[in-house]
Amino acid sequence: MHATLIGLALALAPGLPDAPESVATTNGVVVNGAAAPVFAIKATTVVVGDGNVLENGIVVIEGGRIRDVGVGLTLPEGTNLVEHDGVLTAGMVAPQSNLLPASERTDSTRPFLEGAELRFGFDPQTQACEQAAAAGITTAVLTPAASNVVGGLTAVVKTHGGKVVKGKAHLALSVNAAAANTDRYPTSYSGVIAELDARLGEGAEGVYAEARSGALPVLIAATTEADAQRAMALAKRHGLRGALLGARRVGEQQVESLRSSGLAVVFDSFGPGLGERSINAMLAVVEAGLPFAFELTDATRFRFDGAALVRAGADADTVWKAMTSGAAAIAGVGDRVGTLRRGLDADLLLWSGHPLDLTSVLEAVYVGGERVHGGDDQ
Amino acid sequence: MIVSTLAAACAAVLFSGPVAGPVIGGVATDDYINGVASDDQETKRSWTISADAIYTADGSVIENGFIRVQDGKIVAMGPGGPSGGDVIRVGAITPGLIDLSLRVAASWNTVEQGSEVTANMRMADAVDLFDEDWQRALRGGVTTALATPLDRNVIGGLGVALKTGGEPTIEARQVAADVVLRGCVGSLPSSGNRPAFQRPNSIFNRRPTTRMGVEWEARKAFYDAMVAAADESKSFPGAEQLQAAMAGELPFMVQAATTQDIRTTLFLKDEFGIPNLILDSAAEAWKEPQMVQRSGASVVLPPFTWDGRTDVDGAAMPWNTAAGLAELGVTFALSGHGSSEPDQRLSMQPLYAMRGGLDFDTALASVTRVPAEMIGISDRVGTLAIGKDADLCLWSGVPFEATSAVVGVMLEGDLVVDPRD
């Protein structure tokens, strides 16, 4: 107890000489003692992400992580406080993305790439990453194109700074028309399913065994209702958990199947011209209380997809939760990002109003406690 | 109007299942009528439908009778019955129609062209339950259909018998999976293939490119399966299904439209001793009917057309084809091929077959009981009897008459098309 208190004092006193290299703070986060930047943000509204909303809440950030969240917190003397007249939320998370360029997401040589790791194609210096971070999408899953039956192992990355939060995060599968490709075996859905059944069935090995045991979640590309039906049946047969990708047409007719499958849905990015059928299908998923999230294709459009659902009648707080903590859970990093909670990464967004009100402006973005976009100089 | 074995119908009269309540002398009591009925159509699980005539498709007709449906099954039926209240009255009731050649949802992605012979590929894994053709079929009176892969492989895989409506999962829809092994001879399995003159650059650089190539591939598949049966080390994916077809455990259903293709298929049947062969789209079975009769194969006819030209390999089929096969005692079913042409619907086919000389009972059986028996699902569908699925086709008048229409459809107790609308 003594030691931790001293540690905290050291951490909060950047001026002290002879500080140890790293010390433990009260919340167990190890930071670089002397250099640990501590600051706090106070906002009119703090959307915690777990359903709670704090009026005049304060988030204390230390060493890139959230040290404390609350109302009326007593800040150590000298703590730099950013006062924000608006809404503070966690960064958005995309469990499906095109952050890898198409040429790096599509390997047409073989239909089964269970050993391939998407993170090796990741280049954080791209415009796509920069735009995503600037738009408030601070975490994304690198997913492959749907043209391979087994597309590889995904990675969860920060869109700014290039940090890989989690490698081998999911096994990416596809059961859609692109996987049943007429240029090579398998050319049919039957072939796709037969091959997946053979790999994921009893006697499964390697990553397939991990997927079968539930240790490794899957992301299954399933575009049409029929794809989704096949994917859900596959998941049920082999006890897979995870999500359907690009499945915004998983219609009203399939809500019960979806519920019993335990799979989440990642809606493919749709834009403003979406038909009533897709909207209704998505609303059915939202209203059934099932887990969902959104695909990242165009960073400037990401928030608009959520807003479009709200405009169609979905509850704004439900949708926002899905875009942050819900998506983080689907991405498999709910213990790192998506919620404003002690110990989680300080990926923060400062908005002028509710983030799903399209007149709201994203005024600043923090990734790992670092301000990467907007805001006044501290 | 044909009324066969009315006595049998009367003898078999009535009996209610456990839920239905007492039925006395063929007339339901008030309790029986009022006890279960619900006004809420969404959740309504019990119905009473009465008709001028009920055609059970097992050879009997119940004049002025009723059918009681509860939880998706037929729980009572017989002459007389209640009227008024929410009893639905129609001209006639037949079993829901069964189409073994609906061709529904047979997209390019249903055929595994990685090889010419893919006997283990399951249409149950590939079928699109959301295809709009299912609704069209259902509303036209077809309640059960066989789905098979697109005919681009010599042996394409395993067909699945599905209800045409209901909850969109295979579990909910399937009557039985893997009910036939689907093959195809004729021009289709070789179309699109081409030889490789230099380095192959496509999976379509392959045999067969001709009818003889198709036959050779089919024969090689069965031969290899025989070898594999004797020597486990020579087994291959699909060998088991080919062996099941040779053992008669799995019907071998082959699309063979022209006389030469029918002959080829019967040659394979003889050579490998395939007991249960179904010739699909066998339009030209009429040209050498004795050959078909001797083989013991059963036949599925394609839809009749005004000019006699059918949609497979340009095979020709005159109006009296069905009547001619019936005369020889060949087992056959009629089919609609899922055509979007209203006059090619399955519900219209018996009319054309009868115009060509077929009797009513055989015509009715050829779209209900016979196709169910051909693929081994007659325990659930194909005839009207207590305990069978409540799949009903409701008619305005005598079925298959030119002036009669399908006015209502019930699928497993759900009134999909309400005749009162």
Question: pLDDT, tens digit, for every residue of A183-223?
Answer: 889 999 999 999 999 999 999 999 999 999 999 999 999 99
- CA distances in angstroms from A181 to A151, A152, A178, listed in the order given: 14, 17, 6
The ipTM assigned to this model is 0.83
Other CB atoms within a 10 A radius of the CB of residue B357 amount to 14
Q: Is the pLDDT of residue B39 over 50?
A: no
Query: Is CATH 1.10.3720.10 what the domain over A93-331 is classified as, yes or no?
Result: no
Closest CB to A180 among B109, B157, B171: B109
Residue (of A180, A193, A99) closest to A139 by Cα position: A99
The pLDDT confidence band at residue A269, using thresholds 50, 70 and 90, is confident
Are A190 and B108 in contact (CB < 8 Å)? no
Cα radius of gyration (chain A): 22
Q: Which of A190, A194, A229 sits opposite B129 (nearest CB)?
A: A229
Instruction: Give me the mean pLDDT over the A251-270 stretch.
Output: 91
Residues in B whose CB is inside 8 Å of some CB of A read 105, 108-115, 118, 120-123, 125-131, 149, 157, 167-171, 202-203, 237
Burial A144-171 (b: 16+ CB within 10 A, else e): bbbbbbbbbbbbbbbbbeeebbbebbbb
Tokens matching residue B39? 């006004």
Both tokens assigned to B177: 């999976």
The residue of chain A nearest to residue B114, with distances taken between CA atoms, is A185
Q: Write down the pLDDT at residue B9.
A: 40
Please answer yes or no on whether A190 and B126 come within 8 Å at the CB atom: yes
CATH 2.30.40.10 residue window(s) in chain A: 37-91+339-374
Mean pLDDT for chain A overall: 88
Smallest CA–CA distance from B204 into chain A, residue:
A183
Domain residues of chain B, as ranges? 6-96+384-417, 98-374
Q: pLDDT tens digit string along B104-153?
A: 888 889 999 889 999 999 999 999 999 999 999 999 999 999 999 999 99
Instruction: Please indicate whether, in this complex, the C-beta atoms of B169 and A257 are within 8 angstroms of each other.
Output: yes
Q: What is the pLDDT of residues A38-67, one digit of tens each?
A: 999 999 999 999 889 999 999 999 999 999
CATH number assigned to the domain covering B6-96+384-417: 2.30.40.10
Q: Is the pLDDT of residue B24 over 80?
A: no
Dihedral of the alpha carbons of A79, A85, A86, A88, in degrees to the nearest 10: 0
Distance, in Å, from the CA atom of B205 to the CA atom of A336, rounded to the nearest integer, reads 52
Q: Which of A203, A212, A177 is nearest to A192 (CA)?
A: A177
d(CA B131, CA B149): 14
B110 and A189: CB-CB below 8 Å? yes
Predicted confidence band of residue A325 (pLDDT cuts 50, 70, 90)? very high
Range(s) within chain A of domains with CATH label 3.20.20.140? 93-331
For residue B155, give the DSSP letter. Answer: E
CB B300 within 8 A of CB B101: yes
Phi, psi of A111 (to 5 degrees): -80, -15
Class (C level, CATH) for A37-91+339-374: mainly beta
Q: Which residue of A has its CA nearest to B165?
A: A253
**Secondary structure letter of residue B212 according to DSSP:** H
Q: How far apart are CA B231 and CA A239, in angstroms?
A: 35
- Determine which of A38-52, A86-100, A175-189, B351-365 has the lowest per-residue pLDDT on average: A175-189
Q: Within 13 Å, how many C-alpha atoms sit on residue A195's CB side?
A: 23
B72 pLDDT above the threshold of 90: yes
Which residues, in sequence order, are bridge partners of residue B160?
B147
| Token pair for B130 | 């959301």
Across the interface, of B112, B167, B171, the residue whose CB is closest to A186 is B112
pLDDT at A279 over 50: yes
Q: Please say if the pLDDT value at position A1 is more than 80.
A: no
CATH no. for B98-374: 3.20.20.140
pLDDT at A57: 97
pLDDT tens, position by position, A107-156: 877 899 999 999 999 999 999 999 999 999 999 999 999 999 999 999 99
**CA distance linking residue B372 with residue B378, whole number of Å:** 5
Which residues, 6 or more positions from B380, have their beta carbon under 8 angstroms from its beta carbon? B175, B372, B388, B389
- Cα–Cα distance measured from residue A374 to residue B37, given in angstroms and rounded to the nearest whole number: 66
- Residue A234 Cα, gap to closest chain B Cα (Å): 9
Question: Which member of A188, A226, A253 has the closest CB to residue B112?
Answer: A188
Give the distance between the most distant pair of CA atoms in chain A: 68
% of chain B with per-residue pLDDT over 70? 90
Chosen for mutation from B117, B148, B152, B169 (greatest number of chain A CBs closer than 10 Å) is B169
Whether B112 sits inside 8 A of A191 (CB atoms) is yes
Average pLDDT, integer, range B361-376: 98
Answer yes or no: are the C-beta atoms of A94 and A139 closer than 8 Å: yes
In terms of DSSP bridges, do strands A370-374 and B392-395 run parallel, antiparallel, or are they unpaired? unpaired
Any idea of the CA torsion for A81, A83, A86, A88, to the nearest 10 degrees? Answer: 0
pLDDT for A234 equals 97
Which strands make up the sheet holding B414-417, listed edge to edge?
A: B73-79, B61-70, B46-55, B88-95, B392-395, B406-411, B414-417
Cβ-based neighbour number of residue A80 at 10 Å: 12
CA distance B410 to B421: 14
Q: Which of B104, B125, B128, B153 to mutate to test the interface with A (most CBs of A within 10 A)?
A: B125
Element (H, E) at A105: helix A102-105
Q: Among all chains, which residue has been given the structure tokens 């399966």? A: B225
